[in-house]
């Protein structure tokens, strides 16, 4: 936004609607894809795509469009992930909010380091997130689950991130760019 003093024409209703749609695209598409991932599509390992996708979406959009995914929206995304994924309530909320906090704190230097470095940071975040969700699920249900599920979740999250980041980057540069209005 231009900060110089002066008179500017008022934005039309269509321009304001377009700008709001561009700002809402990251959160809206994240929620839409989450709902689609719970539909009976018959994909092998489909249940594990939900936490992998939500973690990647919150990580990417917080890094490149933090205004589009404020903490209350991340809370709602985490709560929806818990409900749709039949996880203990609050586990995804905690993991996603901690991820957002970590990414916000590293926003100054992380985007300039290049994709490979960002991906390696995401891999570390995905490892901690998978371990934390596994531990929270065990603690909240008073049982020890096999750690293989957490390992699979980590590998799926780490492996999917490059594909998801490519799609998110295209949206970030075209559809979700509010400065283009």
Q: Determine the structural domain holding residue 83 and report its residue range.
A: 15-36+46-180
Residue 116 lies in a domain: yes
Q: Please report, to the nearest 10 degrees, the dihedral formed by the alpha carbons of residues 43, 48, 54, 60 taken in order.
A: -90
* In contact, 62 and 104? CB cutoff 8 Å: yes
What distance in Å separates the CA atoms of residue 31 and residue 120, rounded to the nearest whole number?
25
Does the residue 5 lie in any domain?
A: no
Coil, helix or strand at residue 7: coil
Residue 69 included in any domain = yes
pTM listed for this prediction:
0.85
Q: Is residue 8 part of a domain?
A: no
Task: Give me the tens of pLDDT residue by residue for the chain, a chain 181 residues long.
Answer: 556 676 777 777 777 777 777 788 888 899 999 999 888 888 777 778 999 999 999 999 999 888 889 999 999 999 999 999 888 888 899 999 999 999 999 988 887 888 999 999 999 999 999 999 889 888 887 888 888 888 888 999 999 999 999 998 888 777 655 555 4
Query: How many structural domains comprise the chain?
Result: 1
């Amino acid at each position: 936004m231009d900060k110089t003093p002066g008179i500017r024409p008022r934005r039309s209703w269509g321009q304001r609607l377009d700008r709001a749609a561009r700002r809402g695209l990251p959160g809206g598409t994240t929620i839409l894809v989450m709902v689609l991932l719970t539909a009976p599509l018959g994909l092998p390992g489909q249940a594990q795509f939900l936490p992998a996708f939500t973690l990647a979406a919150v990580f990417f959009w917080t890094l490149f469009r933090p205004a589009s995914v404020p903490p209350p929206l991340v809370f709602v995304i985490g709560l929806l992930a818990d409900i749709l994924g039949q996880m203990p309530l609050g586990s995804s909320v905690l993991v996603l909010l901690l991820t957002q906090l970590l990414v916000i704190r590293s926003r100054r230097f992380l985007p300039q380091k290049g994709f490979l470095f960002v991906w390696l940071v995401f891999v570390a975040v995905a490892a901690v997130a998978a371990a934390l969700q596994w531990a929270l699920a065990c603690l909240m249900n008073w049982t020890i689950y096999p750690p293989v599920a957490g390992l699979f979740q980590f590998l799926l999250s780490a492996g999917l991130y490059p594909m998801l980041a490519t799609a998110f980057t295209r949206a970030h540069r075209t559809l979700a760019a509010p400065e283009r209005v």
